[in-house]
Amino acid sequence: MLIEPATSEDCHAIAEAHVESWQHAYKTLLPAPYLASLSVAEREAMWRRLHERQPSHLLVARSAGQVVGFVAFGASRDEVAPSDRAEVWAIYVRPAFWSVGAGRLLWLAALQQALAEGYKTVSLWVIAGNERAIRFYERAGFVAEPQSRKQFELGGATLEEVRYVLTPAV
């Protein structure tokens, strides 16, 4: 498994991994018609825009030359976050590569880069009920901030998300 910065040519494969991951990870949390409507083309455009703005903050995992996952990260987008807090904006791996270490390698590469850029803490948001992701983040050392819970609507479903924070031991 190779972790490296994404290229603009990777944006389509990143979008495919994003959609496929959502369709599997959220199948018990979001309505099937919404998940079926997810557009690779729309996600590709989104990832292409991010890549143009911050190419070093979009990493991919490759296996046999194919993109099997990605992580996007940078400064925290939370209004109340300290300036030295990074955020994992997205981390997704194709379901066929779950539990083989791709997510962990992506996370560790993002963490290493965030620390090298001077960040002291890292946060992320996770949808309540996404038990697989919660286990992954808790194993990585993230701790939930229960007071951060907020509700939002997506695809006709009301969901809740919780911020998790990690203060790495350096």
Name the strand (E) or helix (H) holding 29: none
Selecting from 3.40.630.30, 3.30.70.20, 3.40.50.10210, 1.20.1260.10, what CATH number does the domain 2-166 have? 3.40.630.30
Task: Tell me what pLDDT residue 64 has.
Answer: 95
Taking the chain (170 residues) in runs of 10, the rounded mean pLDDT of each run is 97 98 96 97 96 93 97 95 96 96 97 96 96 96 94 95 89
Q: Map out the domains of the chain as residue ranges.
A: 2-166
Task: Tell me what pLDDT residue 153 has.
Answer: 96
- CA count, 13 A, side-chain hemisphere, 133: 24
Task: Tell me what pLDDT residue 55 has.
Answer: 86
Instruction: Please state whether beta strands 2-5 and 58-63 pair in parallel, antiparallel, or not at all (unpaired).
Output: antiparallel
CA torsion, ordered 83, 52, 60, 67, to nearest 10 deg: 160
Burial class (CB in 10 A: 0-12, 13-18, 19+), 95: middle
Task: Tell me what pLDDT residue 67 has.
Answer: 98
Q: How far apart are CA 52 and CA 47, in angstroms?
A: 9
Task: Tell me what pLDDT residue 170 has.
Answer: 61
Distance of CA 19 to the CA centre of its chain: 12
pTM: 0.94
Q: DSSP readout, 77-144?
A: --TTS-TTEEEEEEEEE-GGGTTTTHHHHHHHHHHHHHHHTT--EEEEEEETT-HHHHHHHHHTT-EE
